[in-house]
Protein backbone atom coordinates (compact mmCIF):
# COMPACT_ATOMS: atom_id res chain seq x y z
CA UNK A 1 0.00 0.00 0.00
CA UNK A 2 1.62 3.30 -1.01
CA UNK A 3 2.07 5.94 1.64
CA UNK A 4 -0.88 8.28 1.75
CA UNK A 5 1.15 11.44 1.24
CA UNK A 6 3.92 10.20 -0.99
CA UNK A 7 3.59 8.54 -4.29
CA UNK A 8 6.98 7.22 -5.38
CA UNK A 9 6.59 6.59 -9.05
CA UNK A 10 7.94 3.08 -8.96
CA UNK A 11 5.22 1.96 -6.55
CA UNK A 12 2.32 3.49 -8.45
CA UNK A 13 0.07 0.81 -9.75
CA UNK A 14 -3.70 0.41 -9.65
CA UNK A 15 -4.98 -2.86 -8.23
CA UNK A 16 -5.69 -5.57 -10.79
CA UNK A 17 -9.40 -5.14 -10.20
CA UNK A 18 -9.23 -1.41 -10.93
CA UNK A 19 -7.11 -1.99 -14.02
CA UNK A 20 -9.76 -4.38 -15.27
CA UNK A 21 -12.48 -1.81 -14.60
CA UNK A 22 -10.48 0.87 -16.45
CA UNK A 23 -10.19 -1.45 -19.46
CA UNK A 24 -14.00 -1.82 -19.45
CA UNK A 25 -14.45 1.94 -19.12
CA UNK A 26 -12.14 2.89 -21.96
CA UNK A 27 -13.90 0.34 -24.18
CA UNK A 28 -17.11 2.36 -23.78
CA UNK A 29 -15.74 5.04 -26.11
CA UNK A 30 -14.85 4.89 -29.82
CA UNK A 31 -11.24 4.18 -30.80
CA UNK A 32 -9.02 7.13 -30.07
CA UNK A 33 -11.51 8.71 -27.64
CA UNK A 34 -10.26 6.96 -24.51
CA UNK A 35 -9.60 10.33 -22.91
CA UNK A 36 -13.35 10.38 -22.21
CA UNK A 37 -12.72 7.95 -19.36
CA UNK A 38 -10.44 10.48 -17.63
CA UNK A 39 -12.90 11.85 -15.06
CA UNK A 40 -13.90 8.39 -13.88
CA UNK A 41 -10.31 7.18 -13.79
CA UNK A 42 -9.31 10.18 -11.68
CA UNK A 43 -12.08 9.30 -9.21
CA UNK A 44 -10.65 5.77 -9.04
CA UNK A 45 -7.12 7.12 -8.61
CA UNK A 46 -8.21 9.33 -5.74
CA UNK A 47 -9.95 6.40 -4.09
CA UNK A 48 -6.90 4.19 -4.39
CA UNK A 49 -4.04 6.66 -3.83
CA UNK A 50 -5.74 9.14 -1.47
CA UNK A 51 -5.11 12.26 -3.56
CA UNK A 52 -3.95 13.32 -7.00
CA UNK A 53 -0.24 14.06 -6.76
CA UNK A 54 1.80 14.83 -9.88
CA UNK A 55 3.13 11.24 -10.06
CA UNK A 56 -0.44 9.91 -9.83
CA UNK A 57 -1.60 12.24 -12.60
CA UNK A 58 1.39 11.27 -14.75
CA UNK A 59 0.53 7.61 -14.23
CA UNK A 60 -3.08 8.23 -15.31
CA UNK A 61 -1.81 10.09 -18.38
CA UNK A 62 0.35 7.11 -19.36
CA UNK A 63 -2.56 4.71 -18.84
CA UNK A 64 -4.87 6.73 -21.11
CA UNK A 65 -2.14 7.64 -23.63
CA UNK A 66 -2.61 11.38 -23.17
CA UNK A 67 -0.27 14.21 -22.16
CA UNK A 68 0.20 14.88 -18.43
CA UNK A 69 -1.02 18.46 -18.89
CA UNK A 70 -4.36 17.12 -20.13
CA UNK A 71 -4.75 15.43 -16.77
CA UNK A 72 -3.48 18.40 -14.72
CA UNK A 73 -5.95 20.83 -16.27
CA UNK A 74 -8.87 18.51 -15.57
CA UNK A 75 -7.76 17.65 -12.05
CA UNK A 76 -7.52 21.34 -11.14
CA UNK A 77 -10.84 22.32 -12.73
CA UNK A 78 -13.22 19.98 -10.92
CA UNK A 79 -13.86 20.55 -7.24
CA UNK A 80 -14.08 16.89 -6.25
CA UNK A 81 -10.43 16.24 -7.01
CA UNK A 82 -7.81 16.80 -4.32
CA UNK A 83 -4.50 17.96 -5.68
CA UNK A 84 -3.18 18.28 -2.13
CA UNK A 85 -3.13 15.60 0.59
CA UNK A 86 -6.33 15.22 2.60
CA UNK A 87 -7.38 13.20 5.63
CA UNK A 88 -8.61 9.63 5.40
CA UNK A 89 -12.14 10.83 6.12
CA UNK A 90 -13.22 13.93 4.21
CA UNK A 91 -16.30 15.70 5.54
CA UNK A 92 -17.81 17.82 2.79
CA UNK A 93 -20.55 19.99 4.20
CA UNK A 94 -22.94 21.73 1.82
CA UNK A 95 -23.02 25.50 2.39
CA UNK A 96 -25.41 26.64 -0.36
CA UNK A 97 -28.71 28.52 0.18
CA UNK A 98 -31.21 25.77 1.07
CA UNK A 99 -28.71 24.11 3.43
CA UNK A 100 -27.74 27.48 4.91
CA UNK A 101 -31.30 28.29 5.88
CA UNK A 102 -31.55 24.91 7.60
CA UNK A 103 -28.47 25.58 9.72
CA UNK A 104 -25.43 24.49 7.68
CA UNK A 105 -23.32 27.27 9.19
CA UNK A 106 -23.94 25.97 12.70
CA UNK A 107 -23.03 22.46 11.59
CA UNK A 108 -19.76 23.72 10.11
CA UNK A 109 -18.89 25.65 13.29
CA UNK A 110 -19.72 22.61 15.39
CA UNK A 111 -17.41 20.37 13.35
CA UNK A 112 -14.67 23.03 13.42
CA UNK A 113 -14.91 23.21 17.17
CA UNK A 114 -15.10 19.49 17.69
CA UNK A 115 -12.14 18.65 15.46
CA UNK A 116 -10.15 21.80 16.20
CA UNK A 117 -9.73 22.62 12.53
CA UNK A 118 -11.05 25.24 10.15
CA UNK A 119 -12.76 24.81 6.80
CA UNK A 120 -10.20 23.33 4.41
CA UNK A 121 -7.92 21.95 7.12
CA UNK A 122 -6.97 18.44 8.22
CA UNK A 123 -6.58 17.18 11.79
CA UNK A 124 -3.00 16.73 12.98
CA UNK A 125 -3.37 12.94 12.97
CA UNK A 126 -4.34 13.06 9.30
CA UNK A 127 -7.69 11.47 10.04
CA UNK A 128 -10.31 14.12 9.21
CA UNK A 129 -10.53 16.90 6.64
CA UNK A 130 -13.32 19.47 6.71
CA UNK A 131 -14.38 21.14 3.50
CA UNK A 132 -17.42 23.23 2.68
CA UNK A 133 -18.83 22.57 -0.75
CA UNK A 134 -21.54 23.93 -3.02
CA UNK A 135 -24.99 22.40 -3.51
CA UNK A 136 -25.01 18.60 -3.55
CA UNK A 137 -28.65 18.12 -4.50
CA UNK A 138 -29.98 17.23 -1.08
CA UNK A 139 -31.81 20.51 -0.43
CA UNK A 140 -34.94 18.83 0.93
CA UNK A 141 -32.94 16.85 3.46
CA UNK A 142 -30.77 19.71 4.74
CA UNK A 143 -28.37 20.25 6.37
CA UNK A 144 -26.15 17.58 4.89
CA UNK A 145 -22.62 16.42 4.24
CA UNK A 146 -21.00 13.98 1.89
CA UNK A 147 -18.33 11.55 3.05
CA UNK A 148 -16.94 9.43 0.26
CA UNK A 149 -19.89 8.04 -1.65
CA UNK A 150 -22.33 8.54 1.21
CA UNK A 151 -24.74 11.37 1.86
CA UNK A 152 -25.45 12.13 5.53
CA UNK A 153 -28.69 14.08 5.62
CA UNK A 154 -30.83 15.89 8.22
CA UNK A 155 -27.56 16.48 10.10
CA UNK A 156 -27.63 17.28 13.80
CA UNK A 157 -24.87 17.75 16.34
CA UNK A 158 -25.69 14.30 17.72
CA UNK A 159 -25.28 12.74 14.28
CA UNK A 160 -21.92 14.49 13.88
CA UNK A 161 -20.80 13.21 17.31
CA UNK A 162 -21.75 9.68 16.39
CA UNK A 163 -20.12 9.86 12.98
CA UNK A 164 -16.84 11.18 14.35
CA UNK A 165 -16.80 8.60 17.15
CA UNK A 166 -17.43 5.81 14.65
CA UNK A 167 -14.69 7.00 12.33
CA UNK A 168 -12.01 8.19 14.74
- Interface contacts to other proteins, rule CB under 8 A: 28, 30, 33, 35-40, 42-43, 64, 66, 70, 73-74, 77-81, 95-98, 100-101, 133-142, 146, 149-151
Which residue, 58 or 114, has its beta carbon nearer to other proteins?
58
Q: Give the integer Cα–Cα distance in Å for 130 and 147.
A: 10
Nearer to other proteins, 31 or 125 (CB): 31
CB atoms within 10 A of CB 89: 19
In sequence order, the 6+-apart residues with CB closer than 8 A to the CB of 18 are 44, 48
Q: Least distance to other proteins from the beta carbon of 51, Å?
A: 14
**CB of 81 or CB of 114, closer to other proteins:** 81
Least distance in angstroms from the C-beta of 108 to other proteins: 13
Query: Which residues contact residue 122 at a Cβ distance below 8 angstroms, ignoring those fewer than 6 apart?
Result: 85, 86, 87, 128, 129
Question: Nearer Cβ to other proteins, position 19 or 47?
Answer: 47
Min dist CB 70 to other proteins, Å, is 8
Return the number of the residue (117 or 138) whose C-beta is nearest other proteins: 138
| Shortest Å distance, C-beta 8 to other proteins | 26
Q: Measured from the CB of residue 116, what is the shortest distance to other proteins in angstroms?
A: 25
Amino acid sequence: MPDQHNHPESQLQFSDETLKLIATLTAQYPDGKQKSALLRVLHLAQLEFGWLSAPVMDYVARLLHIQPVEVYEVATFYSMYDTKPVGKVKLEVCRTGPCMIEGAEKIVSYIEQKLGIKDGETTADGRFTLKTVECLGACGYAPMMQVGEHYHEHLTEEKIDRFIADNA
